[in-house]
A and B are shown apart, each in its own frame.
Chain A
Amino acid sequence: MSNHDPESEIESIRRILAGEKHLFHDLIRPCERPVFFMLMSILKNETEAEDAAQETFIKAYRNLHLFRGDAQFRTWVVSIARNEGLGRLRKLDNRREDSIDGGPPGSEEATGDFTPAILTSWREIPIETVEREELAALLREAIAALPEIYRNVVLLRDIEEMDIRQTAEALDISEGAVKVRLHRARALLQKSLAPKLKGFAPQRRGWFGRRA
């Protein structure tokens, strides 16, 4: 259903600009998830993120003639969402103490311990053996706990399955930075999730403990 074919996207945009406005509804459907989750990641408030998502799509509509087709439409819209989110965050930050993990988003590479949790008892995907909602809650919690610069990369790359180039364009960072952040994000997720998810899988071997 979701159509990422650049040629049909451009054709659809041409028709919207020529007056077939209703086509905009279908054009943006594949963008709704990444836009909302990007804004949730930045704003951490559902009402605010929804409002910002509406604003993002209205801006995309009003500025549609500026879309050049050198990026995927979805990538372009996610970058509008990111700017919208960061703009709102700056306004909010004027009203409250800095409560963002490690400072303003994207301002620096957070330091951290990226060594993995060494655990051999959680090797199979435990989908069949767990309550799915309980598992989903653990995953959401772990992702929410990531520093924002890592969370945004995981969100676009692993959750929305955008490629490295699209992720780099949407976040306005280099492809190298996407790779480094993705690696660190996955390492942090593995570290926080492996011990919690261990209980969900059949116990086969013991806990190996941290390697010296």
Chain B
Amino acid sequence: MKELIARLVEAYGPSGNEEQVRALIQDEIKAHVDEARVDALGNLVALLKSDPDGQGKPPTRVMVAAHMDEIGIIVTHIDEKGFLRFAPIGGLTPLTLLGNRAVFANGVMGTFGMEKREILPTEKPKLDRMFLDIGTPDKESALKLVSVGDAAAFSRGFAQAGNRLLAKAMDDRIGCAILIQVVKTLKKNPNDIYFVFTVQEEVGCRGAVTSTYGVQPDLAIAVDATDTGDTPESRPMNVTLGKGPAIKVKDAGMLAHPAVRRLLVEAAKGLGIPYQLEVLEGGPTDAMVMQTSREGVPSGVVSIPCRYVHSPSEMVDYDDVTNAVKLLTKVLEDRVAI
């Protein structure tokens, strides 16, 4: 599975530009699902139809979703000297840019620079003082490589540190990898499972809005990276790397449906795998909008603990990843009823 993760995290796909990631995923899953379509916004919606149960009961429609997009930048202006000004795509921390590189869909590479390079000790660098340097001497040569509106993502290779994996875009390619692995692992399937790989989560969970409306699930589970509270002097949070997949109780965008939470907890207990309950002060996931689609959908989240989220070196524990695969596989191999 590590090889798959490496390919996914190294793929290019800032929000609104998920084509390359989608092609990779399509290729991985097409032999394992009954149908796969791309909707108007670019979400990949794959259906694995239920095995016949012989009793004619309609299967439960379960949606499991992970987002394909990653944070990045979008070019807003190309100046006379060939430098690119940019705006953030998603939650970008300016500090994480200095010294790093960004790459465009066509492979053009750049490094981040800043006006007046010295930063006062009391000062935080601001994005509007920064620019991307793609090595071009003037506007004309820059325009041959990129144009306003082009998006770039961090350029950073996959690496391992002990049992831990390091990469950019772990949020949420790790969720994509888990879904792909689940598709390949499932031995039986009493439910209609919609594996949905969404777009534009980092800019407001937009892909999940339209894909959930289209799928009309009875129950939905998002798989996404979450923050941890286990590094020196970090903000208090009861999620630790390596202590198992986290089952969301709440975040700033949603309260997980208690029945979905129970379903996940019971499955983890049944398997005897570690799990932890997650209360996140910060940001939402796709589950926020899945939950309020149409007449409402009982929704929950399997979160993968991830240090340094939204940086070029996000870190997850490999055991958490494989346990998440086991957990979801177990949940989906039983007839889902709540």
Whether chains A and B associate is: no
Residues on A lying within 8 angstroms of B by beta carbon are: none
Residues on B lying within 8 angstroms of A by beta carbon are: none
